[in-house]
């Protein structure tokens, strides 16, 4: 789309109303008509504001890496997408899908793409190795074993059996190169590399190995795991700080956290998933300051929604008292009345993360959390124990930390990097909300539905008694913490798959998928072993009440078995994102949780009086079923068609 600076843009036609199912499915695609409509309206609106015209015309600054490279853009590299969700577990990420919504790559990222392509060409013996080594003598058995296990090169016997000789791009000597004498074998330039890469892909020459995919996915996921654990620690810390005060306090903080998740955090995180699409498309259009406009619009919208949420939280005690015993309801209501002060900061930070991620600055969130997470621990210790505020100190620390997060993010953008996408405060942010809301609501519905399916177990356990509610708090905290490992792994796997599918390397994508599945199983087995072996040690971290410890120890074996299926389900969701079919995962989750998992949980927990054990058996069965259904769907999917769809999206983008 051209810049509106040359002539006045024609306002777009009135949007056509879509039915709910179509709108929901469209929300999973970054190239949805709603996102394009928002962008068109913003460009038209900006033509009326002189300052915005200048910003739009200067969207690609001089020397900007988005346009200063004449070589064709890369097809392999994408950033490991995803965000830390902050509290418990949305089983399906509605964030970046890896195929469609990435903004343009910077010069450094294009170099990473070329390096990745060059490395694959070397491993497939198509271009010369990076270092020429003299012929070596026969290697010993240990050296051969080491090379077989860790080498990323494709074995020549596989190439000889499966592929014709690789196509070669002839690199002619330069005018200054001597015609006679020894010549050093040259590495292709960017232009020759692009030709060589395209020819090799067309000829089906590019293969990969499990060693390479394991290394790549490990590199992608390590920083994401740190980020997820850091952000989740903000919530775990308050539970740890309160847990030693008593059984009732431990149960109350779990109930308050559940209420906050359902009524505030889940809706906010669902709504801001629309920024994953809107900010990326605004940045990719070349009008970078439109990213800041999208952030402003969403932030104002979220602040308006916080008004009714605050009213509910300030009057939550009678509502909660109708569900559980009055003393726990009173403590939970006091927790909500305090943390309401931190909700504006939470909303601003969730939007701000998308603002920097659209620019490729995924590390910013990690830097902010590296400062905020230790400070949150200190504040909880000071307020709960050192100053003697008790239960009240925990929500005060949470509210202060949530308010600090957007401040730290702002300081980074202002003083370090990211301000180029901020065009100042605009009147246009108060307009054009309709398409944004229509794009955001399906994301909120999907995330909220998945959260509710898990969090409703906490509410159900509250009807069993104070000790059961406290034990449920421990179980939810433990299982949600362990989930912060397979979920980032699934994001890394989906990103890598999207890279390879986008490059039309279907066989390599399947290899990467198999590695991710094995990784998910290994992580699940690790978590299973950890919880099963420490079933009597883990509850001691939260409580010294013998009844709570016994209840947790009785239920942890079920939670341990759940870890295997939890890891498998997380990976299956990631693979669906990788092939661009995440809408199937959303519907599979909803059907499985509400028609299978929850009925089994309530039937066993209350009908057969298995209590907490029965509640968690239902969740375990649901995760097992949804992972099997999704793996079957992935197995039956046409990956070659997914590659064609990715090619069409890339071309249209």
pLDDT tens-digit profile of 300-313? Answer: 999 999 999 999 99
Cβ-based neighbours of 275, under 8 Å, separated by 6 or more: 294, 295, 298, 351, 354, 355, 358
Return the ∠ at Cα 307 (arms to 320 and 442), rounded to 5°.
85
Mean pLDDT of 424-439: 86
Average pLDDT, integer, range 226-230 = 88
pLDDT at 204 over 50: yes
Per-residue pLDDT reduced to its tens digit, 206-216: 888 888 899 98
Identify which of 361, 355, 366, 343 has the alpha carbon closest to the alpha carbon of residue 266: 343
Asked whether the predicted pLDDT for residue 603 surpasses 90, the reply is yes
The stretch 588-596 carries a mean pLDDT of: 88
CA torsion, ordered 530, 536, 538, 539, to nearest 10 deg: 150
Q: What is the pLDDT of residue 307?
A: 97
Residue 372 has pLDDT above 80, yes or no: yes
**Mean pLDDT value of segment 315-322:** 90
Q: Is the pLDDT of residue 19 over 50?
A: no
Q: Helical H runs in 463-581?
A: 466-483, 486-502, 506-533, 546-578
Choose between 456 and 619: higher pLDDT.
619
DSSP state of 382: I
Torsion angle (degrees, nearest 10) of CA 304, 308, 313, 316? -170
Q: Six-digit token pair at 175?
A: 């005018």
Note the pLDDT tens digit of each residue in 490-538: 888 888 888 888 888 889 899 999 999 999 999 999 999 999 999 999 9
Which ranges in 58-206 belong to alpha helices (H)?
107-123, 141-150, 156-162, 190-202
Answer with the residue of higher pLDDT: 352 or 357: 352
Candidates 505, 522, 514; CA nearest to 634 is 514
The pLDDT tens digits for 56-84 are 333 334 334 444 444 444 467 666 665 54
Ranges 89-103, 158-172, 228-242, most confident = 228-242
Q: 10 falls in which pLDDT band (50, 70, 90)? A: very low
Over residues 22-31, the pLDDT tens digits come to: 333 333 334 4
Q: Which residue has the higher pLDDT, 553 or 55?
A: 553
- Which tokens in the block code for residue 499? 């890279």
Per-residue model confidence (pLDDT) at position 13: 42
Which has the higher per-residue pLDDT, 307 or 289?
307
Residue 170 has pLDDT above 50, yes or no: no
pLDDT of residue 338 exceeding 50: yes
CA 60 – CA 355 distance, rounded (Å): 17
Three-class SS state of 322: coil
Q: What is the mean pLDDT of residues 143-160?
A: 65
pLDDT at 149 over 80: no
| 164 has a pLDDT exceeding 50 | yes
pLDDT, averaged across the chain: 79
Q: What is the mean pLDDT of residues 122-144?
A: 69
pLDDT at 67: 40
Asked if the model's pLDDT at residue 621 lies above 90, the reply is yes
Which pTM was predicted?
0.80
Quick one: average pLDDT of 221-231? 87
Q: How far is CA 165 from the centre of its chain?
A: 40
Is the CB of residue 295 less than 8 Å from the CB of residue 355? yes
Q: Is the pLDDT of residue 128 over 70?
A: yes
pLDDT tens for 537-580 read: 999 999 889 999 999 999 999 999 999 999 999 999 888 888 87
Q: Give the integer Cα–Cα distance in Å for 362 and 355.
A: 10
Per-residue confidence (pLDDT) for residue 140, from 0 to 100: 66
The fraction of the chain above a pLDDT of 90, given in percent, is 36
Predicted local confidence at residue 189, as pLDDT: 58
Tokens 């649901």 correspond to 622
Half-sphere exposure of 14 (CA within 13 A, CB side): 1
pLDDT of 90 above 70: no
Lowest mean pLDDT among 3-7, 309-313, 470-474: 3-7
pLDDT at 323: 80
Query: For residue 636, is pLDDT > 50?
Result: yes
* Alpha carbon distance 29, 9 (integer Å): 26
d(CA 353, CA 84) in angstroms, rounded, equals 10
Flag whether pLDDT at 337 surpasses 70: yes
What is the C-alpha to C-alpha distance for residues 335 and 136, in angstroms, rounded to an integer? 69
What average pLDDT does the segment 187-195 reach?
A: 64
Q: What is the mean pLDDT of residues 191-199?
A: 74
Q: What angle do CA 235, 237, 241 make, to 5 degrees?
A: 125
Nearest to 152 by CA among 197, 195, 208: 208
At residue 71, the pLDDT reads 45
pLDDT for residue 486 is more than 80: yes
The alpha carbon of 378 is separated from its chain's Cα centroid by a whole number of angstroms, namely 28
């Amino acid at each position: 789309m051209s810049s509106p600076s040359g002539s006045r843009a024609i306002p777009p036609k009135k949007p056509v109303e879509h039915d709910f199912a179509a709108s929901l499915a469209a929300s999973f695609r970054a190239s949805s008509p709603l996102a394009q409509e928002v962008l068109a309206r913003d460009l038209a609106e900006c033509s009326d504001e002189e300052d915005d015209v200048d910003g739009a015309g200067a969207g690609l600054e001089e020397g900007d890496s988005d346009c200063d490279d004449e070589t064709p853009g890369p097809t392999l590299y994408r950033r490991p997408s995803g965000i830390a969700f902050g509290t418990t577990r949305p089983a399906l990420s509605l964030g970046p899908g890896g195929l469609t919504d990435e903004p343009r790559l910077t010069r450094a990222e294009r170099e990473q793409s070329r390096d990745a392509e060059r490395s694959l060409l070397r491993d497939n013996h198509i271009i010369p190795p990076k270092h020429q080594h003299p012929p070596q003598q026969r290697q010993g058995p240990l050296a051969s074993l080491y090379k077989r296990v860790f080498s990323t090169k494709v074995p020549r016997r596989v190439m000889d059996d499966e592929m014709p000789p690789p196509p070669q791009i002839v690199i002619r000597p330069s005018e200054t190169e001597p015609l006679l004498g020894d010549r050093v074998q040259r590495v292709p330039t960017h232009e020759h590399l692009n030709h060589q890469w395209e020819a090799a892909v067309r000829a089906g020459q590019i293969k990969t190995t499990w060693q390479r995919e394991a290394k790549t996915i490990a590199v992608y996921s390590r920083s994401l795991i740190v980020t997820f654990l850091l952000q989740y620690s903000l919530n775990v810390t308050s539970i740890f700080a309160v847990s030693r005060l008593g059984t009732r306090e431990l149960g109350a903080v779990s109930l308050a956290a559940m209420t906050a998740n359902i009524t505030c955090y889940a809706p906010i995180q669902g709504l801001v998933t629309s920024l994953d699409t809107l900010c990326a498309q605004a940045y990719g259009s070349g009008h970078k300051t439109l990213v800041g406009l999208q952030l402003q619009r969403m932030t104002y919208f979220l602040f308006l929604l916080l008004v009714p949420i605050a009213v509910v939280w300030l009057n939550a005690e009678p509502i909660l008292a109708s569900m559980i015993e009055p003393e726990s309801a009173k403590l939970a209501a006091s927790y909500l009345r305090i943390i309401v002060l931190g909700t504006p900061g939470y909303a601003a930070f969730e939007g701000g993360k998308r603002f920097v991620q659209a620019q490729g600055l995924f590390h910013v969130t990690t830097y902010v959390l590296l400062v905020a997470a230790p400070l949150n621990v200190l504040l909880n210790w000071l307020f709960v124990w050192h100053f003697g505020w008790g239960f009240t100190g925990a929500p005060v620390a949470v509210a202060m930390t949530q308010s600090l997060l957007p401040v730290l993010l702002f300081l980074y953008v202002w003083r370090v990097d990211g301000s180029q996408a901020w065009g100042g405060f605009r009147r246009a942010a108060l307009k054009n909300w309709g398409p944004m809301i229509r794009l955001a609501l399906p994301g909120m519905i999907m995330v909220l539905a998945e959260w509710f399916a898990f969090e409703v177990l906490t509410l159900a356990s509250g009807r069993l008694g104070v000790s059961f509610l406290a034990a449920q708090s421990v179980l939810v905290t433990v299982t949600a913490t362990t989930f912060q490992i397979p979920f980032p792994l699934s994001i890394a796997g989906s990103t890598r798959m999207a890279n390879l599918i986008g490059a039309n390397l279907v066989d390599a994508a399947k290899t990467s998928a198999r590695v991710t599945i094995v990784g998910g199983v290994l992580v699940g087995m690790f978590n299973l072993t950890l919880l099963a072996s420490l079933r009597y040690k883990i509850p001691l971290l939260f409580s010294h009440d013998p009844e709570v410890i016994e209840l947790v120890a009785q239920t942890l074996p079920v939670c341990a078995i759940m870890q295997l299926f939890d890891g498998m389900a997380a990976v299956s969701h990631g693979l669906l994102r990788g092939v661009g079919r995440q809408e199937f995962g959303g519907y599979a989750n909803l059907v499985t949780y509400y028609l299978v998992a929850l009925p089994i949980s309530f039937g066993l927990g209350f009908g057969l009086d298995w209590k907490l054990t029965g509640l968690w058996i239902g969740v375990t069965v649901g995760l097992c079923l949804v992972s099997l259904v999704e793996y079957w769907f992935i197995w039956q999917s046409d990956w070659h068609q997914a590659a064609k769809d990715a090619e069409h999206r890339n071309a249209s983008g």
